[in-house]
Amino acid sequence: MNNQRSAGVLVFIGVFLFSIAILITETLNPAYSLNLDSISSLGIGPHGYIFYYSILLMGALVVIAGIILLSGKKRQAWHASIILVGLGAFGVGIFPYIINYPILHGYFAFTAFIFGGITAILFGAQKGTPLRALSPIVGVFILVSIFLYATGRLYGLGPGGMERMIVYPTLFWALALSGHLMNQKE
């Protein structure tokens, strides 16, 4: 298996498992509000370990995928950027929202958010597949959502809903990226 395919497999596994973990922990916590509660609030309570272990795994796999991509012949800026996404996600798992780390947790979440949008834009900077053409649109959507979230413009979605306008497009785009990478011949 070549570098791009290997990286694609790792990104897919990490993002898929984290996405499923979000759904599981939302379901297991009946008091959880998609509108009011942050995604990291899923780490609170008896099932919180599902959230934190899954984001640690996703972060580690995305970092490894980025390193694999950087070790290939065709190094690109988005390869380094995706490592920062993974480090941000991993940091969110290392510094839980609820245990005396809200500032560090926030910095790592912000890193994952910002570089999620930047990575999509950088990936789309080259000509090629339809995914490359659509990626900058997704990246801008993510960055605009970050701005709206940070400035309190929630448009009825609540903080949890607006945070999902950042996280879900990033996860969906990463799954599309993983499919693209797994299809590469290098």
Global pTM reads 0.94
- Tell me the pLDDT of the chain (186 aa) as tens digits: 699 999 999 999 999 999 999 999 999 998 999 999 999 999 988 999 999 999 999 999 999 999 999 998 888 999 999 999 999 999 999 998 776 678 899 999 999 999 999 999 999 987 788 999 999 999 999 999 999 999 999 999 999 999 999 999 999 999 999 999 999 886
Domains in the chain: how many in total? 1
The 10 Å Cβ neighbour count of residue 51 is 27
Mean of all residue pLDDT scores within the chain: 94
- What dihedral angle (degrees, nearest 10) is formed by the CA atoms of 83, 87, 88, 94? 170
> Residue 50 has which token pair?
């599902």
Structural domain boundaries, residue 131: 3-182
